[in-house]
């Protein structure tokens, strides 16, 4: 089965179980662009200390191929109950920091091109993006320079779902996130930092049930 066909089948399954009927009284699901942990990107582990004049760079890369991640768990029985639980992550030209105590550090995502498909079914799709997270506990990011400049991204797509339908009661959560040429920071103390997001181009950014 091809990736495009699998993607269409998965989206159709999500629609059938979650959104096919307007009679389901599903609570609203908030956009979770700043919540990285629930999208499979980071695991809970102790932080790593990076001292001195360190640098993490993703520079001058080209991703023309299709980058796809798909994960799923679907069950249905006798028309009475159904559930979908999908989580996956697809990334291209991305720098991620998790639970780090970083001092005097430069984080650059410069002059990258993503022209193929970056698709995540049930999670997060990112391209030319810096991800910063404190993990289980906060870790300061101090005296740092974050540059996201002169990047090009096209056709970034994310489909996320967590749904259940049982005996007429419905619930729905779609935490999909599609990000291009951006900085995502969660549970991080940023001090005396300069963050530049400049001269970037993005086309065809789509997210089903989350933030784009």
Pairing of strands 118-121, 67-70: parallel
First to last CA, the chain: 28
CA-to-CA distance for 185 and 135, rounded, in angstroms?
11
Q: Identify whether the C-beta of residue 148 lies closer than 8 Å to the C-beta of residue 182.
A: yes
CA-to-CA distance for 160 and 210, rounded, in angstroms?
7
Q: Which residues contact 79 (CB under 8 A, 6 or more apart)?
A: none
Is 70 exceeded by the pLDDT of residue 199? yes
pLDDT of residue 201: 86
Mean pLDDT of the chain: 63
- Number of domains, the chain: 1
Is 50 exceeded by the pLDDT of residue 198? yes
Angle made by CA atoms 198, 158, 122, in degrees to the nearest 5: 140
Segments forming the whole domain that contains residue 51: 3-208
**C-alpha distances in angstroms, 204 versus 13, 154, 180?**
23, 6, 10
Burial class for 132, CB neighbours closer than 10 Å (0-12, 13-18, 19+): buried
Q: Could you tell me how far CA 124 lies from the centroid of its own chain? A: 3
Is 50 exceeded by the pLDDT of residue 9? no
Q: Identify whether the C-beta of residue 141 lies closer than 8 Å to the C-beta of residue 188.
A: yes
Q: Is the pTM of this model over 0.75?
A: no
Percent of the chain clearing pLDDT 90 (strictly above): 0
């Amino acid at each position: 089965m091809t990736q495009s066909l699998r993607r269409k089948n998965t989206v159709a399954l999500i629609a059938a179980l979650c959104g096919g009927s307007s009679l389901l009284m599903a609570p609203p699901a908030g956009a979770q662009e700043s919540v990285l942990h629930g999208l499979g990107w980071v695991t809970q582990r102790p932080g790593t200390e990076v001292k001195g004049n360190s640098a993490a760079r993703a520079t001058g890369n080209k991703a023309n191929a299709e980058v796809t991640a798909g994960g799923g768990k679907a069950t249905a029985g006798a028309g009475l109950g159904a559930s979908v639980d999908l989580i996956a992550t697809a990334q291209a030209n991305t720098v991620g920091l998790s639970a780090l105590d970083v001092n005097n550090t430069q984080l650059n995502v410069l002059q990258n091109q993503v022209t193929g498909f970056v698709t995540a079914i049930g999670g997060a799709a990112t391209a030319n993006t810096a991800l910063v997270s404190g993990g289980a506990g906060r870790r300061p990011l101090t005296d740092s320079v974050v540059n996201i400049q002169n990047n090009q991204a096209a056709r970034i797509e994310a489909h996320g779902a967590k749904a259940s339908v049982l005996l007429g009661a419905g619930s729905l959560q779609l935490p999909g996130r599609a990000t291009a040429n951006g900085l995502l920071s969660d549970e991080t103390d940023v001090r005396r930092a300069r963050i530049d997001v400049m001269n970037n181009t993005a086309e065809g950014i789509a997210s089903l049930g989350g933030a784009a």
